[in-house]
């Protein structure tokens, strides 16, 4: 799309964007260095470990998780934005919250509850159920990842649905379209970019997740890579496998960029969306609320209540992690710093790709996404390699750790920032410039305020992802440095589950802070658009 | 109006963030230039400071054993010696990979690993110094590296954990009775992804050969065993009656017993006929060639192998002490009474072969 109004010097953006992309290629560079020596060993290995089989298993999980996330997100967003459901703002605040549950915690709780001799079986014992079917494997991993990941799509989809011009529906209906035909033919295509951008995060998260698939024993590509590191101590073969994974990620990104169409995603009129036609639920109020409640029950309430119960027991038996306060402070610090650094690093890329959809911009954006699709251990070891050998001053310091988080989580920020940039009507910028505002002034006074919800949303995602992150924090963190996540790992490694639960509860409590800030901001911004 | 006020407050926050944002991006780009410049200036730096001044009051430990297990004894060492100790905790395999990536620039002085596998990899990469006899002489010959590159600190025995409802006389005599007796069908637990289980399989391959090990694994799988991610849940499952027998390390049971008392319904069963099912593994440590504080690292090894250090592990982690004169916890079966095979840890280093075999029979998939 050639933009009629553009920020004058793309070079101003291109240079920082390109240097960020260059840095985010470090893991790939490392993998090539590590993997190239084993190139001849790679082929027999690939045959031996049945790579094709693992690829199919991985693909099955990714597709299933992504599909079910889309279904849950679509249904819940539609209910929240298109019906007269009561307590709507409460629902829309609660629905994204499962995002705060770390995948290893979610999987752990799935096993405790749905395991062959789990809580559910105990409850069903009087009915003669002596053993539940094994939850390990595909079903467990699918269930866990679906309920942890649907918020990624929910959040992008909801804001997109709120921005759709209600006039479209009026026009469609005056042309004889039924509502569902309108929804399918007109609204859904308009929602596609937000579904896809959310889905990309779900896909990459599922591809790189280790916590859930290892606890639930479903062998994905990432699981196999960890197996090479942890059981075989074989870095070169692990690097070879990681290169294949990187190739898969690149292919997915390439396919995704092919599906993008040059549509205008901004509204062209300034009419407020007050007259939005609502579906009256009437008698369906309660069943619909139960439906949303059930999603929250599985994704948030059961895990949280269970964790609180364990943590309470831990407090009662005084199994409190030492330095809990310092650990929480460390978690808060690295997560906030990561959110800010990622904005600094990813902001230019988002601006570039939203405003100038040139080939080079798409290429730069795609490259950055690779980091999110690679297992944490790979990114961590690549920075160990470069840090210890070429950047000794920064090695094992907080800045390098933050840099690692940025490499991994930048896509979450870019996606959020970019979609809010794309929803701005360029005429507004144009008008500002005609009225004598400079480029920078337009950016500060028009673009920034309008995109702030997107920025804050992106930063919140980075914050959440960082606070849960484990392998990078363990490997790349300074000596004697601990966070809540490392404390949780440390305690659960030696089966001190009550103590681990306390760290888990604190991770979730701290994560909830930005989620509520985020909600307030998005509410304000929808008011803001009314003033336009 | 109120809304406008609130909006403007939020805007100010954003602008504040944007001020921080660009300054971060500047530092990012600074980083990028320094990455490239440091590669060129590295050589000059290296010649300028060929050997870093040894700081005799420091020690950097990379620990593959968790802080829960070894934190207190490290702290105690720091207090008594006055040495300033820094620790990096992680999983043994990831720490080993980290040390290899760091190469000659590793800040680590000493690697304290959970199992011989991790130590073997560093040894094979020739990154350990040879330890003096004064240290390696403290432990039996079969509890350290053949080349004296690392030394065992504590021992743990592979064993069977069983529900107390099972008659002692019915328990298997060796690993074959376990997999060939149909009464255990569906009632055995094991952890195919666990390092200690894999070490046991490596021991089988060293002792029995490839074919016989494969036969045993196939027989085990035919028993329809329950799979667990690691040892502890198997001990809990045995006590809960979810399984009859689990293939585990000995010490997890004792943590449960210490916590829940004798009413806990599981006990260990050391196979009377021995074999790889009773293999004794060690946690051990070695000193890196690149250590800046080699003397302090050796002091620490001495401390771990002193009476104080060994008593700590015997009492707190229920592991077997390896030096003469320190008593095993009363509730443990003495190491001398365990019929464990004499397999050199060096012979168990082919971890990839073990993974391949486990994959081939379908235990890992």
Say how far apart CA B118 and CA B125 lie, in whole Å.
11
pLDDT in tens, A28-60: 999 998 888 767 777 776 666 677 888 899 999
Provide the β-strand partners of residue B111: B62, B286
Mutation target among A138, A230, A396 for the B interface, most CBs of B within 10 A? A230
> Can you give the pLDDT at residue B21?
39
Residue B359 vs residue A385, higher pLDDT: A385
Query: In the predicted model, is pLDDT for residue A85 greater than 60?
Result: yes
Chain A residues with CB-CB distance to B67 below 8 A: 490
Stretch A281-296: mean pLDDT:
90
Instruction: Answer yes or no: do A229 and B93 touch at CB < 8 A.
Output: yes
Looking at residue B46, its pLDDT comes to 39
Question: How do residues A336-387 score in pLDDT, each as one tens digit?
Answer: 999 999 999 998 888 888 877 777 888 888 888 888 999 999 999 999 999 9
Residues B181 and B172: their CA atoms lie apart, in Å, by 9
ipTM of the complex: 0.88
CA-based nearest residue to A474, from B197, B228, B97? B97
Q: According to the model, what pLDDT value does residue B195 have?
A: 84
- Among B335, B202, B63, B130, smallest CA distance to A486 is for B63
Structural contact between residues A199 and A62, judged by C-beta atoms closer than 8 angstroms = no
Distance from CA of A23 to the nearest CA of B (A): 7
- What is d(CA B139, CA B320) in angstroms, rounded to the nearest whole number? 12
Which chain A residue lies closest to B22 (C-alpha atoms)? A344
Domains and CATH numbers, chain A: 10-267+275-531 (1.10.3720.10)
pLDDT of A271 strictly over 80: no
CB contact under 8 A, A389 and B103: yes
Q: What is the pLDDT of residue B18?
A: 40
pLDDT digits (tens, 9 = 90+) for A117-155: 778 888 888 888 777 787 888 999 999 999 999 999 998
Beta bridge partners of A34: none
What is the pLDDT at residue A269?
56
pLDDT band of residue A267 (cuts 50, 70, 90) is low
Cβ–Cβ of B121/A215 closer than 8 Å?
no
Q: Note the pLDDT of residue A305.
A: 93
Q: What residues contact residue A342 under an 8 Å CB cut-off, 6+ apart?
A: A405, A406, A409, A410, A413, A458, A459, A462
A170 — contact with chain B (CB < 8 Å)? no
Find chain A residues with C-beta within 8 A of B318's C-beta. Answer: none
Q: Which of A324, A388, A208 is nearest to B62 (CA)?
A: A388
pLDDT of residue B130: 97
Looking at residue A168, what is its pLDDT?
A: 81
Token pair, residue A346, equals 């990813």
- CB neighbours of residue A258 within 10 Å: 9
pLDDT of the residue at A130: 76
Mean pLDDT within A173-196 = 86
A276 pLDDT more than 70: no
Confidence (pLDDT) at B48: 41
Mean pLDDT for chain A overall: 84
Question: Residue B31: which pLDDT band, with cuts at 50, 70 and 90?
Answer: very low
How many alpha carbons lie under 13 Å from residue A466 in its C-beta half-sphere? 34
Residues 124-143 of A with CB under 8 A from B: 136
Q: How far is A19 from chain B (nearest CA, A)?
A: 7
The rounded distance, in Å, linking the Cα atoms of B133 and B322 is 15
Mutation target for B interface from A495, A514, A522, A525: give the one with most B CBs within 10 A.
Answer: A495
pLDDT at B12: 43
Q: Are A47 and A430 in contact (CB under 8 A)?
A: no
Beta bridge partners of B285: B112, B151
Identify the structural domains of chain B with CATH numbers, from first to last: 58-155+280-333 (3.40.190.10), 157-278+349-361 (3.40.190.10)
Interchain contact A399–B (C-beta under 8 A): yes
Q: How does pLDDT run across A415-435, given as a tens digit for each residue?
A: 888 878 877 777 787 888 888
Q: DSSP string spanning B326-347?
A: -PPPTTSPPGGGS------GGG
Nearest CA in chain B to A30: B101
pLDDT digits (tens, 9 = 90+) for A393-413: 999 999 999 999 999 999 999
What pLDDT, on a 0 to 100 scale, did the predictor assign at position A419?
78
The distance from CA B260 to its chain's CA centroid, rounded to whole angstroms, is 25
User: Which among A144-158, A165-179, B343-357 has the top mean pLDDT?
Assistant: A144-158
Cβ distance A231 to B355 less than 8 Å, yes or no, reads yes
H-only helix segments in B49-150 = 67-81, 92-102, 116-124, 133-136
Selecting from B90, B118, B195 the residue whose C-beta is nearest the C-beta of A475 gives: B90
Q: pLDDT digit string (tens) for A214-252?
A: 888 888 999 989 988 888 788 888 888 898 899 899 899
Rounded Cα gap, residues A134 and B186, in angstroms:
13
- B359 at A interface, C-beta within 8 A: yes
Tokens 């328990």 sit on residue: B171
CB A344 within 8 A of CB A336: no
Q: How far is CA B151 from CA A322, B58, B93, B117, B309, in A?
A: 31, 22, 18, 13, 14
Q: What is the pLDDT of residue B32?
A: 39
Q: Which residues of A379-408 are buried (b: 16+ CB within 10 A; e: fewer)?
A: bbbbbbbbbbbbbeebbbbbebbbbbbbbb
What is the number of CB-based contacts under 8 A between chain A and chain B?
A: 187
Whole-angstrom distance, CA of residue A449 vs CA of residue A256: 29
Taking the Cβ of residue A189 and every Cβ of chain B, the question of whether any pair is shorter than 8 Å is answered with no
Beta-carbon contacts of residue B298 (< 8 Å; ≥ 6 apart) = B131, B132, B135, B287
Q: What is the pLDDT of residue A454?
A: 83
Q: Is the pLDDT score of A202 beyond 50?
A: yes
Nearest in space to A93 (alpha carbons), one of A529, A521, A525: A521
DSSP A216-229: TT---HHHHHHHHH
A101-119 pLDDT, tens per residue?
A: 999 899 988 988 887 777 8
Q: Percent of chain A scored above 70 by pLDDT?
A: 90
Predicted pLDDT of residue B9: 47
The Cα A327–Cα A135 span in angstroms is 33
Average pLDDT score, chain B:
84
């Amino acid at each position: 799309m050639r933009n009629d109004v553009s920020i004058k010097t793309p070079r101003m953006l291109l240079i920082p964007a390109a240097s960020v992309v260059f840095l985010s290629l470090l893991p790939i560079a490392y993998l090539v260095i590590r993997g190239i020596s084993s190139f001849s060993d790679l082929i027999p290995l690939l045959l031996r470990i049945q790579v094709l089989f693992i690829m199919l298993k991985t693909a099955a999980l990714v597709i299933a998780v992504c599909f079910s996330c889309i279904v849950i997100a679509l249904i819940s967003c539609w209910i929240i934005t298109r019906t007269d459901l009561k307590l709507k703002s409460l629902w829309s605040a609660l629905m994204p919250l499962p995002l705060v549950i770390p995948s290893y915690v979610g999987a752990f709780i799935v096993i405790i509850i749905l395991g062959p001799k789990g809580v559910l079986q105990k409850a069903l014992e009087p009915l003669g159920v002596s053993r539940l079917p094994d939850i390990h494997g595909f079903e467990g991993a699918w269930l866990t990842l679906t309920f942890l990941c649907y918020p990624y799509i929910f959040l992008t989809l909801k804001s997109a649905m709120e921005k759709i011009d209600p006039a479209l529906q009026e026009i469609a209906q005056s042309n004889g379209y039924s509502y569902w035909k309108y929804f399918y033919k007109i609204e859904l295509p308009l929602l596609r970019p937000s579904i896809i951008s959310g889905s990309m995060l779900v896909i990459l998260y599922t591809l790189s997740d280790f916590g859930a698939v290892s606890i639930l024993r479903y062998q994905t590509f990432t699981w196999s890579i960890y197996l090479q590191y942890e059981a075989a101590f074989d870095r070169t073969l692990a690097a070879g496998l990681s290169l294949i994974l990187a190739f898969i990620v690149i292919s997915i990104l390439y396919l995704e960029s092919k599906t993008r169409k040059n549509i205008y995603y901004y509204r062209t009129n300034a009419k407020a969306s007050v007259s939005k036609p609502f579906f009256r639920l009437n008698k369906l109020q309660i069943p619909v609320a139960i439906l949303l409640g059930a999603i929250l029950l599985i994704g948030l309430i059961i895990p949280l209540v269970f964790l609180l119960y364990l943590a309470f027991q831990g407090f009662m038996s005084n199994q409190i992690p030492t330095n809990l306060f310092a650990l929480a402070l460390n978690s808060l610090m690295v997560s906030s710093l990561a959110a800010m650094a990622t904005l600094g690093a990813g902001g230019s890329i988002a601006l570039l790709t939203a405003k100038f959809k040139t080939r080079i911009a798409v290429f730069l954006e795609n490259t950055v996404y690779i980091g999110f699709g690679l297992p944490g251990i790979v990114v961590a070891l690549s920075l160990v390699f470069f840090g210890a050998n070429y950047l000794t001053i920064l090695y094992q310091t907080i800045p390098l750790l933050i840099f690692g988080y940025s490499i991994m989580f930048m896509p979450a920020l870019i996606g959020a920032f970019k979609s809010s940039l794309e929803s701005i009507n360029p005429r507004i910028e144009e008008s500002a410039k005609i009225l004598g505002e400079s480029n920078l002034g337009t950016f500060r006074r028009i673009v920034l305020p309008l995109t702030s919800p997107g920025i804050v949303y992106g930063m919140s995602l980075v914050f959440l992802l960082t606070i849960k992150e484990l392998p990078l924090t363990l490997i790349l963190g300074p000596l004697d440095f601990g966070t809540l996540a490392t404390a949780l790992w440390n305690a659960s490694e030696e089966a001190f589950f009550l103590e681990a639960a306390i760290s888990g509860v604190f991770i979730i409590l701290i994560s909830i802070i930005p989620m509520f800030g985020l909600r307030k901001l998005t509410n304000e911004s929808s008011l803001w658009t009314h003033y336009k | 109006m109120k809304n406008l006020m609130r909006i403007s407050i939020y805007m100010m926050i954003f602008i504040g963030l944007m001020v921080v944002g660009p300054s971060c991006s500047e530092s990012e780009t600074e980083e990028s230039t320094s990455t490239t410049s440091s590669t060129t200036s590295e050589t000059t730096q290296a010649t300028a400071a060929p050997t870093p001044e040894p700081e005799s009051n420091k020690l950097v430990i990379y620990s593959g054993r968790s802080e829960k297990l070894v934190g207190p004894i490290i702290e105690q060492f720091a207090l008594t010696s006055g040495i300033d100790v820094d620790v990096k905790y992680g999983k043994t395999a990831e720490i080993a990979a980290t040390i290899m990536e760091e190469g000659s620039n590793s800040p680590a002085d000493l690697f304290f690993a959970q199992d011989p596998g991790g130590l073997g990899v560093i040894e094979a990469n020739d990154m350990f110094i040879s330890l003096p006899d004064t240290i390696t002489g403290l432990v039996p010959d079969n509890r350290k590296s053949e080349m004296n590159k690392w030394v065992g600190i504590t021992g743990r025995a592979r064993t069977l954990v069983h529900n107390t409802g099972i008659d002692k006389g019915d328990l298997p005599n060796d690993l074959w009775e376990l997999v060939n007796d149909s009464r255990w069908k569906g009632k055995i637990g094991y952890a195919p992804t666990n390092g200690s289980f894999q070490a046991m399989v490596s021991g089988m391959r060293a002792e029995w050969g490839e074919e016989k090990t494969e036969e045993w694994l196939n027989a085990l799988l035919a028993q329809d065993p329950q799979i667990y991610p690691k040892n502890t849940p198997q001990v809990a499952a045995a006590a809960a009656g979810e399984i009859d027998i689990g293939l585990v390390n000995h010490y997890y049971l004792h943590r449960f017993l210490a916590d829940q008392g004798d009413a806990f319904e599981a006990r260990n069963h050391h196979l009377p006929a021995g074999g790889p099912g009773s293999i004794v593994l060690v946690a051990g440590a070695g000193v890196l060639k690149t250590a800046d504080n080699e003397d302090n690292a050796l002091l620490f090894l001495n401390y771990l192998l002193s009476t104080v250090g060994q008593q700590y592990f015997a009492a707190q982690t229920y592991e077997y002490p390896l030096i003469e004169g320190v008593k095993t916890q009363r509730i443990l079966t003495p190491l001398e009474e365990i019929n464990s095979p004499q397999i050199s840890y060096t012979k168990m280093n082919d971890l990839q072969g073990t993974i391949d075999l486990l994959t081939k029979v379908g235990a890992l998939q």
